[in-house]
Amino acid sequence: MTPSLVRRNHWVVRLTHWVNVVAVTIMVGSGLRIFNAHPAFARPGERFPLNPWEGHGVPDWLTFGAWLGGARHWHFAAMWLLVVNGLIYVAFLALHGEWREVTPHRGDLRAAIEMIKFYLFVNKTHPRQGKHNALQKSAYFAMTVLGVILVLSGLAIWKPVSLGFITALFVNYKWARVVHFTAMALLVVLILGHIVMVFAVDPYSLRSMISGWYNDAKSPEARNARPFYHLFGPGRSAKATPADEHAA
Amino acid sequence: MTLDRRRFLTISAASITGALLTACNADPEAAHPLLAFAERKNEGVEEALFRHDAMDRVPPGARLAGAAFPRYFVSPTVPVWDAGVRGLWRLEVSGAVRQPLSLTLNDLMDKFPRVSQTVDHFCVEGWNARAEWTGLRVSELARAAGATPDARFVDFKSFDDDYHESWDMPSAMHPQTLIAYGMDGNLLGPGHGAPARVHSPVKLGYKNTKYLTAVVFMPMKNGGYWTDRGYEWYGGT
C-alpha cells in the first residue's frame, strides 16, 4: 500500500483541538467537584424526581480542584480558556469555509443510516461521505452546539442576577443548573464516543490531529474499516508499512 | 523516527491516562498564581457587569423554602444574643461616615423605610432557596450615617465567632441588599441570624453575614471569614 499523504487538518484546528482537550478536562473535573458540594437539583424542601441519583455525588477521582473553593477558582479561570479557544475555532471555521464539513446538510440522515448499515454488516462497503462521514459530522456539530449551551447556561448560573436575562432563557437558576449539568453529561458521552472511535476505527487520524498529515490509503474508506476492524478483522493487512513509519 | 505506531499509541494512551489519574481531585499548587490572576480579572468583569437595576426576580406565588431553609453558623452552637450578659443588642455603624450610629432593633424597624422582598438566596454550594425578607436597605443606613467618598467597601461583622465579610460598595448599595430582621412574615429566628442579618440576592450566601453587630464603611477591603479560607472575595451573582 503506497502512502498517499494529504494535509488534513489546518494548524488552527489542531491547536484549538488540543487546547480544548485541556480546557474541557479542567472544566468537567472542576465542575463535578463543584457539583459534589450539593449533588442535587431540588431546592431545599422540594423534590426533583427527574434525577434518579438526586443527592449522590460523583466519585472523587473524577473530580478536579480538591475542594469547592479550589474547584471554583479552576472553573472560573479555565472558562476563559474554553471560551476564547472556542471563539477562535468557530471564527476560523466561519472564515475558512470549513464550517461546511461539520454542519448538518440535507441528506445527512440518509447518510448516517448508510453508515450504521455498514457498521452493522448490512452493507459491504464503507460509504464515501467526504472528510467526515454523517455520524462524525453530527457528533462534531452537536459538540459545538453543546459547547454554546454550556457557556450560556454557565453564565446563567454564575451571574443569575447581573445576567438575569440569560438565566431567564433557561426559565430560572434551578433549571439553568439542570441544563448545565445535562449538557456536560451529553458532551462527555460524545467525547468518550469520539475517543473510542478514533482508536477503534481510524487511529491514523490521530496523526492528522498532531502533524496535520493524513494517509488517505489508511482511511476507513480505503480499509473498509468497521470499529475494531484493525484488531480483529481481516484488515490486519493494514499494518503499517516501513515507508509510513518514516513519515510518522 | 523509529517509534512504531502501535508503541506510539500505547505510550500516548498511557501518558494521557497517567496524567489524568495524577490530576484526579488534585489542586496543583504551581497554578495558584495563575488562578489568583484570573480571580482578579474576573472581579473586574463582575464589577463591570454589576448594575443597580438588575434585580433578582422571583415570580409571584413561587413556593418558599419555609422551614426547609438551611441554617448555618460557624460557632459550635447556635449563636444567641444574651442581653443579660452583653446588654441590649445594637447595630454599630461606623468607619468612613460623618455620623456614626448605634441602633437598637426598634430603631432599625421604626427609623428606616421597611422593605419586604421575596428573593433567591444563592448558596456557593449550588442550591438556591426562596424566602420573604423584611428589613431596611443598607443604602438607607449609609445615607443616615453619611458615608463619605472614602467608603469604598463595607465590612459586615457578626457575633457568630469571628465571622465577617467585606463587600464592595456598589453591591452593598444595591436596592435588594437589606439588613433583614424579618423572614417569611416573622421576626428572624436564631437559626437564620437573629436579631438582624445581611440578606441580598446579589451576593452568594457566605457573603451575607448573619448575627450582625456592626457595619463598617472602609476605604480598603478586609477579606472575610470564608474569603480568608480561600473562597473568592467578590462572591457576586
In tens, the pLDDT along A14-40 reads 999 999 999 999 999 999 999 999 999
Tell whether omega for the bond before B195 is within 30 degrees of 0, i.e. cis. yes
Residue that is written with C-alpha cell 447595630 in the block? B91
In angstroms, the separation between the Cα of residue B133 and the nearest Cα of chain A is 17
B:129-148 residues touching chain A, CB 8 A cutoff:
129-130
Q: Which of A143-147, B9-13, B70-74 has the lowest mean pLDDT?
A: B9-13
Supply the pTM of this predicted model. Answer: 0.90
Number of Cβ within a 10 Å radius of residue B8: 17
Nearest chain B residue to A196 by CA distance is: B13
Which of A84-93, B16-25, B125-134, B226-235 comes out lowest in average pLDDT?
B16-25
A164-179: average pLDDT:
97
> What residues of A are in contact with residue B226 (Cβ under 8 Å)?
69
Locate cell 456592626: which residue?
Answer: B214
* Inter-chain residue contact B231 with A46, CB threshold 8 Å: no
Asked if pLDDT for residue B21 goes beyond 70, the answer is no
Least confident range from A12-16, A105-109, B151-155, B184-188: namely A105-109
pLDDT bucket at B236, cuts 50 / 70 / 90: very high
> pLDDT digit string (tens) for B106-138?
999 999 999 999 999 999 999 999 999 999 999
What cell was used for A234?
A: 481481516
- The answer to whether B70 contacts chain A (CB < 8 Å) is yes
Backbone angles phi, psi at A157, to 5 degrees: -95, -15
pLDDT at B106: 97
* pLDDT for position A243: 43
Interface A-B: count of C-beta contacts within 8 A:
146
**Degrees to nearest 5, angle at CA B159 with B155 and B163:** 50
Q: What is the chain B residue with the closest CA to A74?
A: B35
The pLDDT-based confidence of B11 (bands split at 50, 70, 90) is low
Find the mean pLDDT for residues B38-59: 96
- Set of cell numbers at residue B88: 441590649
Out of A44, A61, A69, whose CB is closest to B68?
A44
Predicted local distance difference test score (pLDDT) of residue A238: 47
The residues near B98 (Cβ < 8 Å, ≥ 6 apart) are B145, B146, B148
Q: What angle do CA B167, B168, B174 make, to 5 degrees?
A: 95
Residue A82 near residue A151 (C-beta atoms within 8 A): yes
Q: What homologous superfamily does CATH list for A5-247?
A: Transmembrane di-heme cytochromes, Chain C (1.20.950.20)
CB contact under 8 A, B1 and A72: no
Mean pLDDT over each residue of chain A, to the nearest integer: 91
C-alpha cell at A92: 476560523
Per-residue pLDDT at A86: 97
Across the strands, what pairs with B61? none
ipTM above 0.95, yes or no: no
With cut-offs at 50, 70 and 90, classify the pLDDT of residue A242: very low
Break chain A into its structural domains and give their ranges.
Answer: 5-247
